[in-house]
Structure 1
Amino acid sequence: MRVETFTAIDGIHHGYRAPEPGAPTLVFANSLGTDLRVWDRVVARLPTEWGLLRHDKRGHGLSRSAQTLTIETMAQDVEALLDHYEITDFIGVGLSVGGLIMQCLALRQPQAMRKLVLSDTAAKIGSPELWNPRMEAVRTNGIASISEAILARWFAPSYLETEDFAMWKAMLERTPAEGYAQVCGAIRDADFTADLPNIAQPTLAIAGAQDASTPPDLVRATAEKIPGARFETIEVAGHLPCVEQPARFVELLSAHVTG
């Protein structure tokens, strides 16, 4: 039985499952304030012969923190894992800031990345007026001081009433404050708008219909600047449709991977 093996390389905690011959390998990048478990419900629904690589960003989950972080340095962390496992052909799947990381990798690894999936993300997310106060609040008073506002933007209102919700609240609030703040700064400083026409990979862009963090119109506008990209919404889902509606997410993902 093929299983995903978890370990760390250079302080980057990750899980890897090699593909069977001829099967694709999917490389995942997570959203702010989550760890690799955000993909659990997706992974559980994928064909068992497909390869997987997912990881915790620096300062998130079990990964070691860094002195500074940019989207480029986080993309380099993924490249280190790709090199370690000799992955030269993969499909990039990025959620929120993970989508920024995958946009960066699409440009840096045009031969290796075969296809791209961008979920609830954009070429530019927010502004200093959004991110700077959040970084200050987290560094001063901790993530729990603003978690209610963050979580209200993450999920569809109906999901906030479920028992499931407590797990994601705990994951967010247990993220190290400095790691969270550093990634906020990386998002603030990133802007791939001018680079979108240079993304050559067949691209699927997905948005939760009730996403208040990266609203569907923002995701659609990003997709429209990528040649040939397709845009889809997932109903009854906010910023994390892979959590709220994993079956529909996998349906769209699988069609894109195999199409």
Structure 2
Amino acid sequence: MKIADLGDIQLHYRVDGDAKGAPIVFANSLGTDLRIWDAVVERLPAGLRVIRYDKRGHGLSSCPPAPYSMGALVRDAERLLDHLEVRDCMFVGLSIGGMVAQGLAVKRLDQVRALVLSNTAAKIGTAEMWKERVQTVQSAGIEALADAVMERWFARGFRDTPQLKLWRNMLVQQSREGYAGCCSAIAGTDFYTPTSGLRLPCLGIAGSEDGSTPPDLVRETVDLIPGSQFHLIRRAGHIPCVEQPEDYANRLTAFLKETGHIG
């Protein structure tokens, strides 16, 4: 476990693989930490420099007072990659992590050479919806949302397994302040115009049973980027890297090869 002290924020991150390999960076979803990528990372080919981190207010990273802006979350990622001297990475972002990916690619093309936009969109939900969620979390805690979130996160078959309890626990143990802060960041984000200006390799990934960012929404976003690809993972909800890690890792590996990120 490592902490990058960036002054106003301390980010927990982890680096696996080859220290001199081609960098691939993973940014996770609202209410999770970097462990959601474990089963995918262990299936990736050797030779990569694999970087994961907990965004502000999540996991083992510090939790500044809410609300947060998407600009702050993008800046966190930018400064972490500068801290690690990362250039020309493939950036894999899931949900809010995919919004960070879009914002970072627009801002720092020297850092990002290819994008994977997983279970995300240029705009997710409505400002009013996120405001209501913030109010619920502040008044009743994340526990009040947990069962509904599990239905969006996972397909029915997975929700019937003992594993569900682990991921539910991960959600409810996140910081109330951090969760609400990131909800505010999503509420204020509409990346349709900046994302439509991107010109870089892009792969969209969606889960067939995703109740948060349905496949059509993901496809609409990646279609903003000319030449982008789209991959649908069956029997998966909002976090297919947990439910179907084999399928996820296989498609990611193929994209790494297609883009020349690995040989």
- The two structures have a TM-score, normalised by structure 2, of 0.93
CA contact (8 A) 2:93 2:118 kept: yes
Residue 8, structure 1, aligned to residue 3, structure 2: yes
Q: For the residues of structure 1 that align with 2:111 and 2:182, how far apart are their CA atoms? A: 25
**Higher mean displacement: 104-113 or 150-159:** 104-113
Alignment-derived partner of residue 219 in structure 1 = 218
Q: For the residues of structure 1 that align with 2:76 and 2:210, how far apart are their CA atoms? A: 28
CA contact (8 A) 2:57 2:64 kept: yes
> SS state of the match for residue 206, structure 2?
strand
Alignment-derived partner of residue 74 in structure 1 = 73
Alignment-derived partner of residue 37 in structure 1 = 35
Q: Deviations over 1:67-99 (max 9, x none)?
A: 342222111111222112211121000000000
Q: Deviations over 1:3-41 (max 9, x none)?
A: xxx2101211110236355x4211111100000001111
Alignment-derived partner of residue 261 in structure 2 = none
CA contact (8 A) 2:81 2:111 kept: no
Q: For the residues of structure 1 that align with 2:223 and 2:138, how far apart are their CA atoms? A: 36
CA contact (8 A) 1:110 1:200 kept: no
Q: How does 1:173-184 map to 2 (within 5 A)?
A: 173-184=172-183
Q: For the residues of structure 1 that align with 2:129 and 2:243, how far apart are their CA atoms? A: 26
1:165 is displaced (CA, Å) by 0.8
CA contact (8 A) 1:33 1:180 kept: yes
Alignment-derived partner of residue 89 in structure 1 = 88
| 2:232 maps to amino acid | T
| 1:145 maps to amino acid | A
Q: For the residues of structure 2 that align with 1:180 and 1:53, how far apart are their CA atoms? A: 22
Q: Deviations over 1:186-209 (max 9, x none)?
A: 001011001122111100000001
Alignment-derived partner of residue 142 in structure 1 = 141
CA contact (8 A) 2:127 2:187 kept: yes
> SS state of the match for residue 200, structure 1?
coil
Q: For the residues of structure 1 that align with 2:83 and 2:164, how far apart are their CA atoms? A: 35
CA contact (8 A) 2:26 2:51 kept: yes
Residue 171, structure 1, aligned to residue 166, structure 2: no
Residue identity (%): 44
Q: Deviations over 1:211-232 (max 9, x none)?
A: 0100001001111111111111
| 1:76 maps to amino acid | R
Aligned structure 1 segments of 4 or more residues deviating by more than 2 angstroms: 17-21
RMSD, matched Cα: 1.1
Alignment-derived partner of residue 56 in structure 1 = 54
Q: For the residues of structure 2 that align with 1:9 and 1:253, how far apart are their CA atoms? A: 27
> SS state of the match for residue 146, structure 1?
helix
CA contact (8 A) 1:18 1:25 kept: no
Residue 253, structure 1, aligned to residue 252, structure 2: yes
Q: For the residues of structure 1 that align with 2:153 and 2:144, how far apart are their CA atoms? A: 16
> SS state of the match for residue 231, structure 2?
strand
CA contact (8 A) 1:199 1:226 kept: yes
**Higher mean displacement: 93-102 or 189-198:** 189-198
Q: Deviations over 1:98-156 (max 9, x none)?
A: 00000001111113211110100000000022111111010101000111111111110
- The two structures have a TM-score, normalised by structure 1, of 0.95
Q: How does 1:232-247 map to 2 (within 5 A)?
A: 232-247=231-246
Structure 2's unaligned 5+ residue stretches are 259-263
Q: For the residues of structure 2 that align with 1:85 and 1:175, how far apart are their CA atoms? A: 26
| 2:155 maps to amino acid | A
